[in-house]
Amino acid sequence: MPVEFFRCLATCHTVATKGEESPETIRYLATSPDEAALVTAAKNFGFFFFRRTTTSVCVRETNVEKMGMFHDVLYDILNILEYSSSRRRQSVICQYPDGRLVLYCKGADNVIFERLADGNDDIKTKTREHLENFGAAGLRTLCLAYKDLSLHAYKSWNEKLIEAKTSLKDREEILDEVAELIEKDLVLIGCTAIEDKLQAGVPSCIETLSRAGIKIWILTGDKMETSINIAYACRLINNDMKQLIMSSETDDIREIESRGDQVEIATYMRAAVKNQLKKLLEEAENSQQSYHPNLALVIDGKCLTYALDPSLRGMLLNLSLDCSSVICCRVSPLQKAQVTSLIKKDAGRITLSIGDGANDVSMIQAANIGVGIIGLEGRQAVMASDYAISQFRFLTDLLLVHGRWSYLRICKVVTYFFYKNLVFALTQFFYTFQTGFSGQRFYDDSFQTLYNIIFTTLPVIAVGLFEKDVSASLSKKFPELYKEGTRNTFFKLTVWMEVAVVSLFQSLVVYYFVVASSTNSVHSSGKMLGLWDVSTMAFNCLVVIVNLRLLLMCDAITRWHYTSVGLGLLAWLAYILVYSGVYSKGIYSAFCVSASTAYFYVTFLLVVVVALLPDILYKGVQRWFFPLNYQIIQECHGHEPDQSSALLQIRNQLTPDEARSFQVAQLPRETNTGFAFDSPGFESFFGEKAGVYAPQKAWDVARRASMLRPKPKTPRRD
Amino acid sequence: MSWNAPSSSSGGAGSSTHVSAPTTISKRPKYSKFTQQELPACKPILTPGWVISTFMLVSIVFIPIGVASLFASRHVVEIVYRYETDCIPPASRRDKVKYIQSIEDKICTKNLTVPKHMKQPIYVYYQLDNFYQNHRRYVKSRSDGQLKYVSSENETQDCKPEDVANRISIVPCGLIAWSLFNDTFNFSLNNQQLAVNKRGISWKSDREHKFGKNVYPKNFRSGTLVGGAQLDSSIPLSEQEDLIVWMRTAAFPTFRKLYGKIEVDLEENEQIQVTLRNNYNTYSFNGKKKLVLSTTTWLGGKNDFLGIAYLAVGGLCFFLAMAFTIVYLFKPRQLGDPTYLSWNQNPGGH
């Protein structure tokens, strides 16, 4: 049996090799690191897969009887039934050199158990026990099985397969069906467990994010025990929390499933899920009334299938919104997407999906924001994502620093655009009433054109690039600031109303203050101003006001702001001097004429100050009596210089524990693959060498024997 | 998965023995304060101190300016005489349009009392109300090229319907010139004629650059539409200052235009007799006509608005500054007090 176990590992995979064909130098290229790990494990146990041809796999097997002897075995791979997220298993049919035909199958435990032949109950129960232990220790498990095939049975099946492969319609489904025909009556060999380490800084990152008011859900394909364990490791669940568990792994369900009637299973499941949901919802409401600490919902994929049914969706949503953290385990990629869109569409929340594997692609695409982690699991997630980061904990920077800044910047830029165009358009609007509604323009055509293109453009770009209310380090130190974004503090209706009122006021000031006295003579020589003189004066005031208000609403004014505002105003001055200086119809010398009067300057000062004073008043009063959080933090830390290279710092806020695991992760690994069972205690060994203390892990061989109860602190994440 | 952390040092050490160490290809962009968002920035915080001092400063600057402007405005002596009804004989007042369109001599006289000593020069204006010189069609009904260059005489495409008459281009063409104001005012003091100087009533830039020295009125008002004043075709446009003033179109339907200057002082309570020729037809659109005599100061004519606005804003700012100071003294808010943070005030919830 052990031989079959490792043969299965060495043959049933889609790994390619690279480099010299010796155990030390060979490198395995796999679509998932798990697969490579399993092949490596087989190698270390004496079943060295070293070559793949189009039809065969070469394995150098240690002779079981005589130690130290090798012989190369060539297995003909007749078919590969590939892994897919719906099948959740992978099979190969290989032919031994002596002609024996075997199907090796490797897949998720529930999938394999469904397809086992009767009998062999003791190995099944034993394996189940193992699986539970491994899961509780936070390991990722797979089950292995095999089946001997007769040549005749294989041949008749192969014909069907070829037919399926060449079918033009629904090929995928037909292939699955055909695979289903042969992947049955399997014999269980055993199970594997792989440690998938949690990246450094994940727990503190998650803690920071939840302080920022972000609710975190885990959607994972792992077993329930594993997922709960991860959630503990990520501090999503702690011992104070009440866990609401919806599992399909109950005895009743198992019993009904064993009968195999699909319709019966479905009806029973639906009823069960409904009852459970009702019960949990009541429980959640009760505990909310009694101020019970936070709730955590754990639900598995099978239950989710029924809970996502339109009739139960609402209940599920209410329940999950009551909980502070939700863990969905054993979910398929499609369900990940469904859950994401449940939150996005039904609850109307903004969702962000982050993942590193190909199975996360659908949820990354379903969410409002998709983030891919560049990792060992391939690039699919990254390709599908909006943002790609190299480690999970950089999510803090992405959201709390750059996300927050972007939000702030976009809000300011958009409201500013709204403001400046409204002020501009309103003055024109007021003038219409004075022209007998003939449509005469208040400003010269070229002013109107260049207003948005030149005179007021550059500064707002500077705001869009450089605006920040608090520095990067403070943003991360006070994650609560992020809530201003989730509550949309800077972009809600009241903000628009404020902007509209300010614009209305300023346009009234610009228009009526300039107009009010220009019906009279404004020069000691008694001469009068004409249409273009008045409009040039008003426009001059307008450009200055709009540019100065930009500086007023900035929280960080860099030299680019000054430069751009200066450039905008200079451009206006240069333009009007040149434009009214060369012969150009009505506007000719309008600026020089009006600027030759004292009235021009007196009005200018009045208009600019009066237009901007209410802004200052409003801001001053608001900050004084109703300060927002960011304003207080500005006041606390305003005098501190920006921490230089705060953004470049990768080791941000690692707890000592994490710092250690990070260092451990950096240890040299020439001979080790890094997987836990490969060489027990290696971390401690290298750790000592490098002067890093690495604690023994729960799955170290020495302790495995005594491992009866799951140890919760084994960080690992999907 | 943690061993793919982007630390270049461990990447090299990790795979050095057998496989040739991959040269570390770093995609990290070159460091610059610009790209790293670390530009030195001024972070203005509008503290109560700043608010109070801003308002104080504004009031300190504004109140003197306000006083000066108001003083200047009060210094101006202005006589306004609205004459569009007065100058129609009572018998004809029922049908004013018919009267104004008749060809008889429409002279009227009026005695104006000088309220206060008026120092020369005294400016004479006519003011029209409800006259939309800023109407879109009216504003563009002119040919700037034609006004300046003889060669552009035929650029009359914007001037319709006053572009050509008898197939010859009109100079100056367009509705603005055509509707030139043609009431005239004569002043006498104690039966002595007061000279009205009509030189230098237009802006120099208009005179020298917009109206040609060798462009003479031609074919003007020879069409069928009765317009305003007639132009002397022997005087070049650059010297026709009434036309130049008129053609600097006003921004609003109520406007004043400079008519001339009286260059003698007028004493208080002196009676000046005005002889008006009421020719201009504002009756068909209910326009008002006024005659204005006014002195000026550094700020121009009578203009209370600026002074009052400055004083009001300055006063308001002073009041606000005082109010804020009092609040600041009695109920100051400590800056940067973390207890004001919402999550400190309301722990647990939000």
Could you tell me whether strands B122-129 and A242-246 are parallel, antiparallel, or unpaired per DSSP bridges?
A: unpaired
CB under 8 Å to B148, separation ≥6 — which residues?
Answer: A583, B209, B210, B211, B212, B215
Rounded distance, CA A505 to CA A503, Å?
5
* Ramachandran region, residue B286 (left: φ > 0; alpha: ψ -120 to 50; beta: rest): left
Query: Min CA distance, A585 vs chain B (Å)?
Result: 6
Could you tell me whether strands A70-81 and A56-62 are parallel, antiparallel, or unpaired per DSSP bridges?
A: antiparallel
Chain B hits for A606, CB-CB cut-off 8 Å, are 62, 306, 309-310, 313
Q: Which of A436, A530, A633 sits opposite B132 (nearest CB)?
A: A436
Rounded distance, CA A42 to CA A36, Å?
10
**Quick one: pLDDT at residue A484?**
86
Rounded distance, CA A255 to CA A274, Å?
19
For the segment B257-273, the average pLDDT, to the nearest whole number, is: 92
* pTM of the entire predicted model: 0.79
φ and ψ at residue B189, rounded to 5 degrees: -120, 120
For the segment B257-279, the average pLDDT, to the nearest whole number, is: 92
Chain B hits for A645, CB-CB cut-off 8 Å, are 31, 36, 38
Nearest CA in chain B to A467: B37
Q: Which of B251, B300, B340 sits opposite A530 (nearest CB)?
A: B251
Residue type, A7: R
**Quick one: pLDDT at residue A561?**
92
Tell me whether residues A438 and B58 touch, CB distance under 8 A: no
Query: Min CA distance, A474 vs chain B (Å)?
Result: 14
Rounded distance, CA A559 to CA A565, Å?
10
Q: Is the dihedral of CA A380, A386, A390, A396 positive or negative?
A: negative
Which position has the token pair 């003197």?
B64
Token duo for residue B349: 């919830």
pLDDT exceeds 60 at position B330? yes
Token duo for residue A287: 């505990």
Tell me whether residues B39 and A559 touch, CB distance under 8 A: yes
**Quick one: pLDDT at residue B17?**
39
Rounded distance, CA B168 to CA B162, Å?
11
DSSP E strands in A314-431: the ranges are: 325-329, 352-355, 369-373, 387-389
Report the Cα–Cα distance between both ends of chain B, in Å, rounded: 37
- A198 secondary structure, DSSP code: P
Query: Min CA distance, B251 vs chain A (Å)?
Result: 4
Task: Name the more confident of A365 and B16.
Answer: A365
Cα angle, residue A364 at apex, residues A363 and A368 outer, rounded to 5°: 100
H or E stretch at A49: strand A47-52
Tell me whether residues A616 and B249 touch, CB distance under 8 A: no
**Quick one: pLDDT at residue A678?**
33
Contact B181, B290 (CB under 8 A): no
Please name every residue paired with B321 in a beta bridge, in sequence order, or none if there are none. none
Mean pLDDT taken over chain B: 85
Which of B122, B134, B254 would you mutate first to test chain A, the one with the most A CBs within 10 A?
B134
For the segment B257-272, the average pLDDT, to the nearest whole number, is: 92
Nearest CA in chain A to B122: A526
Tell me whether residues A434 and B252 touch, CB distance under 8 A: yes
Report the Cα–Cα distance between both ends of chain A, in Å, rounded: 30
CB under 8 Å to B84, separation ≥6 — which residues?
Answer: B278, B282, B283, B287, B288, B289
Tell me whether residues A597 and B256 touch, CB distance under 8 A: no
Chain A hits for B340, CB-CB cut-off 8 Å, are 627, 632
Rounded distance, CA B118 to CA B115, Å?
9
What are the average pLDDT values for consecutive 10-residue runs of chain A, which has 718 residues? Answer: 84 87 84 84 87 88 72 89 83 90 89 85 88 82 90 91 87 87 89 82 88 89 82 83 83 77 84 88 80 80 88 88 87 90 89 88 92 82 90 90 92 94 94 90 90 92 90 88 87 92 95 84 85 91 94 90 93 92 77 88 94 93 88 78 48 57 50 34 46 47 37 39
Chain B hits for A392, CB-CB cut-off 8 Å, are none
A338-359 residue pLDDT tens: 999 999 998 888 999 998 888 8
How much of chain B exceeds pLDDT 90, in percent?
45
Rounded distance, CA A294 to CA A634, Å?
32
Which of A390, A521, A603, A652 would you mutate first to test chain B, the one with the most B CBs within 10 A?
A521
For every residue of A233-265, DSSP letters joined together read: HTTSS-TTSEEEEE-S-SHHHHHHHHHT-HHHH
Could you tell me whether strands B184-189 and B192-194 are parallel, antiparallel, or unpaired per DSSP bridges?
A: antiparallel
Task: Name the more confident of B82 and A23.
Answer: B82
Please name every residue paired with B128 in a beta bridge, in sequence order, or none if there are none. B255, B289
In angstroms and rounded to an integer, the radius of gyration of the C-alpha atoms of chain B is 35
Query: Min CA distance, A337 vs chain B (Å)?
Result: 24
B171-182 residue pLDDT tens: 888 899 999 999
Token duo for residue B311: 């004083």
Q: Which of A472, A528, A669 sits opposite B258 (nearest CB)?
A: A528
**Quick one: pLDDT at residue A626?**
87
Contact A48, A56 (CB under 8 A): no
Token duo for residue B13: 């050490």
Tell me whether residues A606 and B300 touch, CB distance under 8 A: no
Q: Which of B6, B69, B300 sits opposite A390 (nearest CB)?
A: B6
Rounded distance, CA A612 to CA B30, Å?
41
